[in-house]
Amino acid sequence: MAKIIVEFSGWVECDSDKVQFLKLVTDDVITGTEWLELSEDDRDDYIMEDYIEAQETALDGEYEHLAVIVKNDDDTKVTAYSTYS
């Protein structure tokens, strides 16, 4: 079966009250505002919980490149959609 691959580069400015971070060991969830109040060492214990939500609630952002690629079973690739800024 073919695969759909999304390739992108860009940036977003997260809304720190809406983005959430997940603590790796305990599964505790905190807001970005709470995460920013932690020391740099303590921040390393967390990962962003949902990057898609961070994009959807972003205050600003820009894509440098976005492409939807179909990778066929024989490893050939077809770019279905691509854009560059």
Per-residue confidence in pLDDT tens, the chain, 85 aa = 888 888 889 999 999 999 999 999 999 999 999 999 999 999 999 999 998 898 899 999 988 888 888 888 888 888 777 776 6
What residues does 22 pair with on adjacent strands?
A: 29, 47
Domain ranges of the chain: 3-84
> For position 42, what pLDDT does the model report?
96
Query: pLDDT at position 79, please?
Result: 73
Asked if 53 contacts 21 with a C-beta cutoff of 8 angstroms, the reply is: no
Q: What is the dihedral of CA 7, 52, 30, 12, to 10 degrees?
A: 70
Rounded to 5 degrees, φ, ψ at 36 are: -65, -25
Rg over alpha carbons for the chain, rounded to the nearest Å, is 17
Q: Which amino acid is at 66?
A: L
Question: How many percent of the chain have pLDDT more than 90?
Answer: 52
Per-residue pLDDT, 35: 97
